[in-house]
Amino acid sequence: MDHCLAQDNLESLQSHILAEEQKFPGATGEFTWIISAISLATKAIGNKVRCARIQDVIGEIGNVNVQGEMQQKLDIISNEIIMHCLGNRDNVGVLASEENKTPILLRRRAEGGRYAVLFDPLDGSSNLDVSVGVGTIFSVLRLSDDGSREEAILQEGANQVAAGYVLYGSSTVLVLTTGNGVDMFVLDQAIGSFVLVARNLKIPEGNKTYSINEAYTTRFSDGIRGYLDWAHQNGYSSRYIGSMVADVHRTLLKGGAFLYPPTTDKPDGKLRLMYEANPMGMIIEQAGGAAVAKGNRILDIVPDGLHQRTSVILGSKDQVDAILKHTT
């Protein structure tokens, strides 16, 4: 089987992270350990996603999760895969998942648990039965002390040491930032590795595209409605998949803006701060864009709960500014 790559400068996720680490003399290599666990877990999840209908793991299990949403069979399977892969890493102290009410304390800091990994194991999973792209979103925080597991991870998004997502779409794409730009990898199934396909991604400006669920227009603020009216009169196009990872990935690569604003029935928005808005916000900012909630920088929000929700407006700076002109 020919593998997908023609390039002769094959660089894997592993070698890329190790090369990045060389730039930091104090680096201990423990970071690679976490990213390799995420790589392994998301390869396994991607395989499950692609075989879901064959293996009859499509659909709901009949439970409602801590978010009040019907759990999909693959939500549970994906969660268990990530918990297993990351739980084996001896420098991971706390794991926090959209699917678990409370964080899981694996090791105290004094026992080597220096990092917390927060994740949405399979965002957009309600789209699985129609084969729409879904994804895993992850955020890595350093644990400062041996406080309680929840307090230890309730840090602003600006503290993240890494963030990323894996999109299980027409290809399996991993997008990662460790605070020095955004790199993109594609899973080459033939060699079983994420291979580097783009370094230091920058979000394009000038793309007059917005991504929002316009079915909620009557529930938006006057400002958001005013922006939409303005956009309709100024040649904008609309793209909305309804799967955050897919919508954000398109926004990252093509530009434009993704919005999940407050509505009358969800005044704090729908998306979760700690493991959706913060990691996506870090990626977009590292790519030169902006990510705001009610006019404030998302990464500056001081969290008061693991599962707290936030509104999200993110994208290229010019497009976010065009929205803020109508909403602040």
Do residues 274 and 307 touch, judged by C-beta distance below 8 A?
A: yes
CA distances from 93 to 32, 99, 118, 151, 277 (A): 16, 18, 11, 13, 22
Span of 31-39, 51-59, 138-146, 240-248 interacting with ligand P6P by CB under 6 A: 240-248
Residue closer to ligand P6P, measured from CB, 183 or 247: 247
Of the listed pieces 70-78, 111-119, 237-245, 300-308, which binds ligand P6P according to CB under 6 A? 237-245
Give the total of residues touching ligand P6P (CB under 6 A).
9
Q: Which of 78, 79, 243, 278 binds ligand P6P (CB under 6 A)?
A: 243
CA dist 43 → 60, 174, 254, 270 (Å)? 22, 10, 25, 28
Q: d(Cα 210, Cα 212) in Å, to the nearest integer?
A: 6
Binding-site member from 20, 123, 285, 318 for ligand P6P (CB under 6 A): 123
From the CB of 132, what's the least distance to ligand P6P, in Å? 10
Q: Which residues contact 193 (CB under 8 A, 6 or more apart)?
A: 12, 13, 14, 187
Residue by residue, DSSP assigns 265-327 as S-TT-SEEIIIIIHHHHHHHHHTT-EEEETTEEGGG---SSTT-EE-EEEE-HHHHHHHHHHH
List the structure tokens of 232: 């309709």
The residue (of 113 and 124) whose beta carbon lies closer to ligand P6P is: 124
Q: Which is nearer to ligand P6P, 109 or 219 (CB)?
A: 219
Q: Which residues, 19 to 78, sit near ligand P6P by CB under 6 A?
A: none
**What is the C-alpha to C-alpha distance for residues 183 and 164, in angstroms, rounded to an integer?**
9
Residues 247-306 that bind ligand P6P (CB under 6 A): 247, 270
Residue 126 binds ligand P6P, judged by CB under 6 A: yes
Alpha-carbon span 293 to 300, nearest angstrom: 10
* For ligand P6P, the closer CB: 124 or 157: 124
From the list 124, 157, 256, 262, which residue makes contact with ligand P6P (rule: CB under 6 A)? 124
Instruction: Give the binding range for ligand P6P (CB under 6 A) out of 24-32, 119-127, 154-162, 164-172.
Output: 119-127
> Which of 242, 267, 295, 305 is in the footprint of ligand P6P by CB under 6 A?
242
> Measured between alpha carbons, how far is 247 from 88 in angstroms, rounded to an integer?
32
Q: How, if at all, do strands 134-142 and 115-123 pair?
A: antiparallel
Interface with ligand P6P includes 98 (CB under 6 A)?
A: no
Q: Could you tell me the smallest distance in angstroms from the CB atom of residue 46 to ligand P6P?
A: 17
Distance CA(286)–CA(258), nearest Å, equals 16
Nearer to ligand P6P, 14 or 126 (CB): 126
| 308 binds ligand P6P, rule: CB under 6 A | no
Q: Establish if 312 lies at the interface with ligand P6P (CB under 6 A).
A: no
Alpha-carbon span 164 to 161, nearest angstrom? 11
186 or 280: whose CB is closer to ligand P6P? Answer: 280
Residues that bind ligand P6P (CB under 6 A): 123-124, 126, 213, 242-244, 247, 270
